[in-house]
Amino acid sequence: MRRTPGILALLILCGLALGACVPRPTVSSAPRSATSKVTSTTAGDANVKTIYLAGGCFWGLEKYVGLVQGVSSTEVGYANGRSDNAKYGDGSGYAEVVKIEYDPAVAPLPFLLGLYYDAIDPTSVNRQGNDVGDEYRTGIYYTDPADEAVIRESIAELQKGYSAPIAIEVGPLVRYSAGEDYHQDYLDKNPNGYCHIPKKLFDAAKAARPE
């Protein structure tokens, strides 16, 4: 049966919506250097701390947190799976994460976590937006043991607003591999690419300041 142009357009739009966090590399897919070594500061800058956040597809989360004042750098990658050198889609049990380097004097950890909660469904298990699977679980992974108490206090406060249990995984960063180059800054390179985070939250993140 011949399809009308209107039906074809509808099918194309549905396909785009279901595409989710599927890579469409336009540059080299070679991964950046990977490491399982963890540190809480960037070498040579004691004022910078690091936290790793998992919140569904890392394309949107990287763009979102990268807009926050006080965040000095971001990198997407794979954390706390079974492989020391995880690759996209290898089934090694990793979580898609954003490595965030930030100045705690400008963006304190509780402030960053509050913005993170705004961009996720904290009660959803292994799903955010259109993305389903354990790689899309939510998680907060720290490299400074002193951050654990801050994180758990923040989670306890968040729980007060929900009847369902908070599903965010909390723990130390055990393994981390940097993502492939085509995943880095994906939405800067592909402004119309898939993102499960509403654009209005990008504007809110850019304007946000600690109280």
Whole-angstrom distance, CA of residue 10 vs CA of residue 107: 43
What sign results for the dihedral spanned by CA atoms 122, 127, 130, 134? positive
User: Catalytic positions, please?
Assistant: 57
Both structure tokens of 55: 């919140």
Longest C-alpha distance within the chain, in Å?
67
Other Cβ atoms within 10 Å of 207 Cβ, number: 10
Q: Bridge-partner residues for 74, per DSSP?
A: 100
Map residue 182 onto helix, strand or coil: helix
Give the Cα separation of 11 and 7 in Å (integer).
Answer: 6
Please name the amino acid found at residue 197.
I
Q: For residue 135, what is the DSSP state?
A: G
As given in the structure block, the two tokens for residue 13 are 């739009």
